[in-house]
């Protein structure tokens, strides 16, 4: 029997819902469908472990084919099971952990789908071919599925490669280090350093690969992200944890002397570019050459079950969605080896870790 959490059940729900809707609705930065702006769906590809399953239309019939099998199922059945799947997931709103939906499993198996999550060497969960009436093109777009049914997902996952190092302006004695380590909140740690007359000076991103990737955004962007991390960890106000608010503060300081009188959005543009690049395949521990493996963007499933499209094909909306709906987050200190003062060549240092999470 198939079991999965709310996020995992969202993948088959997205398949059923998109096939029954026959269109992709473009979303704005506030998770609203843009009125009268949608793209008809002509085909969908689901990536199974050992094959691709192709879905297309013949009137009110959905045609399903893989290398071996072929099925014809009325679209009305997809409408029924999409609604049922949504209700079953929503019924688990206050519960955690994995659960089964036998009716949906049986329907999926009727056309040889035997898993919840798509299996793909690429970074997308589902591939959709749309019809663009403006260009007369029929682009095939890859999507990762982000569901608001479950807990908010991460955009930039924490790892040792997302550590940034800072040097202390002067060394602390051992007794002060013990006090520093005993403080639970980073805001308290930073205040303790400030009271001791010590500032943190950015050194570098610990991973040379990540450092190089960040330079593809802007030569100074590694330092900009370092400043973003300092502002995040040093602030007690949770409202200031959003990417948008943090970048507004960085812009006001303009530490790197960009001509913000001519273009006041330079820092915002850098951050948006970074978020888009990361959404489309950049990783901290891999060389980034703009191989857009996600081929595109996200399908966001709202809590009411409606699905909105945010895609590189519609770059401006995609940027705004990422910029307006992400925040910094504090990952596990021990797991990723940051947050403690250490000494190297008679100088003391502190590492901070970058993790960016969706707010919804």
Q: What is the pLDDT of residue 294?
A: 46
Look at residues 99, 154, 138 and name the one whose alpha carbon lies nearest to residue 326: 154
Q: What is the pLDDT of residue 312?
A: 72
Query: Cα–Cα distances in Å, from 309 out to 27, 166, 318?
Result: 6, 39, 9
How does strand 70-74 pair with strand 341-344? unpaired
* DSSP symbol at 4: B
Angle made by CA atoms 282, 283, 289, in degrees to the nearest 5:
45
Spans of the chain, pLDDT less than 70: 120-123, 292-296
Report pTM.
Answer: 0.82
Instruction: For 312-346, list the strands marked E by DSSP.
Output: 326-328, 341-344
Q: What is the pLDDT of residue 18?
A: 97
Q: What is the pLDDT of residue 293?
A: 54
Look at residues 219, 218, 250, 220 and name the one whose alpha carbon lies nearest to residue 234: 250
């Amino acid at each position: 029997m198939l079991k999965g959490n709310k996020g995992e059940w969202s993948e088959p729900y997205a398949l059923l819902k998109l096939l029954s809707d026959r269109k992709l609705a473009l979303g704005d930065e506030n998770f609203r469908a843009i009125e009268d702006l949608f793209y008809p769906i002509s085909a969908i590809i689901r990536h199974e472990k050992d094959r691709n399953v192709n879905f297309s239309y013949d009137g009110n019939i959905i045609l399903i084919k893989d290398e071996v099998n072929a099925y014809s199922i009325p679209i009305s059945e997809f409408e029924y099971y999409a609604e049922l799947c949504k209700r079953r997931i929503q019924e688990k709103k206050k519960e955690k952990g994995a659960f089964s939906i036998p009716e949906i499993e049986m329907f999926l198996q009727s056309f040889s789908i035997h898993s919840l999550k798509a299996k793909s060497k690429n970074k997308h969960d589902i591939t959709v071919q749309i019809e663009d009436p403006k260009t007369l093109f029929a682009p095939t777009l890859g999507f990762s599925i982000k569901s608001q049914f479950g807990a908010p997902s991460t955009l930039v996952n924490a790892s040792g490669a997302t550590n940034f190092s800072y040097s202390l302006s002067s060394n602390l004695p051992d007794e002060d280090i013990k006090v520093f380590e005993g403080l639970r909140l980073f805001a308290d740690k930073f205040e303790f350093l400030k009271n001791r007359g010590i500032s943190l000076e950015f050194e570098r991103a610990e991973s040379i690969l990540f450092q190089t990737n960040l330079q593809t955004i802007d030569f100074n962007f590694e330092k900009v992200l370092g400043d973003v991390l300092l502002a995040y960890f040093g602030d007690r106000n949770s409202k200031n944890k959003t990417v948008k608010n943090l970048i507004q503060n960085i812009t006001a300081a303009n530490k790197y002397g960009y001509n913000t009188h001519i273009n006041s959005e330079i820092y915002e543009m850098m951050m948006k570019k970074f978020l888009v690049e990361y959404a489309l395949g950049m990783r901290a521990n891999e060389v980034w050459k703009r191989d857009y493996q996600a081929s595109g963007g996200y399908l966001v499933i709202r809590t009411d079950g409606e699905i909105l499209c945010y895609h590189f094909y519609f770059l401006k909306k995609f940027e705004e969605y990422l910029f307006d709906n992400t925040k910094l987050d504090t990952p596990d200190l021990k797991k990723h080896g940051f947050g403690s003062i250490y000494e190297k060549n008679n100088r003391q240092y502190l590492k901070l870790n970058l993790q960016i999470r969706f707010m919804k």
